[in-house]
């Protein structure tokens, strides 16, 4: 029988330090709003104190505006949500002119998710965001994991050599650090993370949605117009944790932002313990726009209860796991 984990004296929640570092950035907490679940931030200001977030990640931006996919493009599933928005967004110019100033003034870290429909438009997008942002963007989160568009997105997110070439080209075009958002639909998640790391990525966001389907049996139709969509929410949390853990063990120097069904402070702590240094909250925001502030306080209280003084002390700390669980790529 393995030894019980050592006891740690509880701490008052106020004594817990939630500051964290990610790819050279200092964040006041590890909790960020996930891309696509918080638009460009403004609409949420009426519901929550945005200055209390660790940061926020915008909806994916492309060089030109997009209307996205036909409706219905979102539906609820057991313990989750299926979406096929199709990366609707205002485009680079309108983002820089109309959305970024608001975000810059919040004083929290600003991550801009971006994508293209082919190789040149990915690079163009990284270049134009980087050139036009002044000091207003902290991270460009490169989306090679959207399952809902015909060209771009996950097309670049399943073959490590392709992801490597694209990441390298975008890193060279940008003065802002690039974090690559990877897809759980890629077979070998460690291989993908390794490929983008070697291409100069400052970190990875793990994971985007998993392709799924829901059917309205009375109408004999898929519930969303594109038939398939991306599944998010608590249903995917165990998969996300497994992937964060595998990448953290294989590539301990690569910063990881964990994503997938975070609804509570305990969920967030699971991601930190698996090896993430920041955590994004997404689907929870559709039901509870103020979820991140609640989750922040739950995390602080739980870390205090467990005697964990700061985020660094939580990251990658798993007691009593076998030292050599073999990693077998799918």
What amino acid positions are annotated as catalytic residues?
146
Q: Which of 209, 246, 264, 283 binds ligand SIN (CB under 6 A)?
A: 209
Q: Specify whether the CB–CB gap between 188 and 247 falls below 8 A.
A: no
230 binds ligand SIN (CB under 6 A): yes
Expressed in angstroms, the distance from the first to the final Cα of the chain is 31
Task: Say which DSSP state 320 is in.
Answer: S
143 binds ligand SIN (CB under 6 A): yes
- Among positions 273-292, residues that touch ligand SIN (CB under 6 A) are none
Q: Is the peptide bond before 212 cis (omega within 30 degrees of 0)?
A: no
31 binds ligand SIN (CB under 6 A): no
Task: Tell me the sheet residues that pair with 55.
Answer: 32, 109
b or e along 259-275 (b: 16 or more beta carbons within 10 Å of the residue's beta carbon)? bbbbbbbebbbbbbbbb
Residue 167 or 296 with smaller CB distance to ligand SIN = 167
3 state SS of 66: strand
Q: How many residues bind ligand SIN (CB under 6 A)?
A: 14
| Tokens coding 49 | 């104190």
- Angle between helices 237-250 and 189-198 in degrees, nearest 10: 50
146 binds ligand SIN (CB under 6 A): yes
Stretch that binds ligand SIN, among 40-48, 80-88, 122-130, 313-321 (CB under 6 A): 80-88
Question: Min. distance of Cβ 220 from ligand SIN in angstroms?
Answer: 24
Q: Which of 20, 29, 62, 84 binds ligand SIN (CB under 6 A)?
A: 84
Residue 84 or 296 with smaller CB distance to ligand SIN = 84
Task: Tell me the sheet residues that pair with 81.
Answer: 76, 232
Burial classification of residue 252, based on how many CB atoms lie within 10 Å of its CB (0-12 exposed, 13-18 middle, 19 or more buried): exposed
Question: Min. distance of Cβ 145 from ligand SIN in angstroms?
Answer: 6
Question: Min. distance of Cβ 39 from ligand SIN in angstroms?
Answer: 11
204 binds ligand SIN (CB under 6 A): no
Question: Min. distance of Cβ 148 from ligand SIN in angstroms?
Answer: 3
Stretch that binds ligand SIN, among 18-26, 143-151, 271-279, 299-307 (CB under 6 A): 143-151
How far apart are alpha carbons 289 and 286 in whole angstroms? 6
Residue 86 or 234 with smaller CB distance to ligand SIN = 86
Q: Specify whether the CB–CB gap between 103 and 147 falls below 8 A.
A: no
Q: Which of 117, 194, 208, 296 binds ligand SIN (CB under 6 A)?
A: 208
87 binds ligand SIN (CB under 6 A): yes
Residue 80 or 265 with smaller CB distance to ligand SIN = 80
How far apart are alpha carbons 310 and 167 in whole angstroms? 32
- Among positions 35-54, residues that touch ligand SIN (CB under 6 A) are 36
Question: Min. distance of Cβ 156 from ligand SIN in angstroms?
Answer: 12
Stretch that binds ligand SIN, among 81-89, 91-99, 163-171, 268-276 (CB under 6 A): 81-89
- Among positions 60-79, residues that touch ligand SIN (CB under 6 A) are 60
How far apart are alpha carbons 180 and 200 in whole angstroms? 10
CA-to-CA separations, 291 to 52, 84, 129, 201, 280, in angstroms, rounded = 11, 23, 29, 29, 11
- Interacting residue ranges for ligand SIN, rule: CB under 6 A: 36, 60, 83-87, 143, 145-146, 148, 208-209, 230
């Amino acid at each position: 029988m393995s030894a019980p984990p050592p006891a740690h004296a509880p701490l008052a929640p106020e004594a817990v330090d939630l500051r964290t570092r990610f790819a050279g950035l200092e964040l006041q907490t590890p909790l960020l709003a996930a891309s696509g679940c918080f638009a460009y931030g403004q609409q949420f200001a009426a519901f929550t104190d945005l200055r209390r977030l660790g940061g926020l990640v915008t909806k994916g931006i492309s060089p030109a505006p997009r209307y996205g996919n036909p409706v219905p493009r979102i539906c609820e599933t057991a313990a989750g949500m299926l979406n096929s928005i199709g990366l609707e967004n205002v485009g680079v110019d309108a983002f820089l002119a109309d959305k970024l100033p608001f975000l810059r003034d919040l004083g929290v870290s600003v991550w801009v998710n971006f994508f293209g429909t082919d190789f040149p438009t990915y690079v163009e997008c990284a270049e134009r965001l980087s050139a036009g942002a002044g000091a207003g963007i902290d991270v460009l989160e490169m989306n090679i994991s959207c399952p809902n568009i015909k060209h771009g997105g996950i097309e670049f997110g399943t073959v490590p050599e392709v992801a490597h070439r694209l990441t390298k080209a975008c890193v060279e075009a940008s003065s802002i650090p690039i974090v690559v958002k990877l897809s759980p639909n890629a077979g070998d998640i460690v291989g993908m993370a390794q490929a983008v790391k070697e291409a100069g990525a400052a970190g990875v966001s793990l994971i985007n949605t998993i392709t799924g389907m829901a059917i309205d049996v009375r109408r004999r139709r898929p519930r969303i117009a594109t038939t398939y969509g991306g599944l998010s929410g608590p249903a995917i949390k165990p998969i996300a944790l497994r992937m964060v853990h595998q990448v953290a063990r294989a590539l301990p120097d690569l910063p990881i932002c964990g994503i997938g069904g975070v609804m509570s402070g305990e969920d967030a702590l699971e991601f930190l313990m698996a090896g993430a240094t920041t955590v994004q909250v997404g689907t929870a925001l559709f039901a509870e726009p103020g979820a991140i502030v609640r989750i922040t306080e739950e995390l602080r209280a739980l870390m205090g209860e467990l005697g964990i003084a700061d985020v660094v002390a939580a990251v990658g700390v798993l007691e009593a796991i076998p030292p050599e669980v073999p990693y077998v790529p799918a």
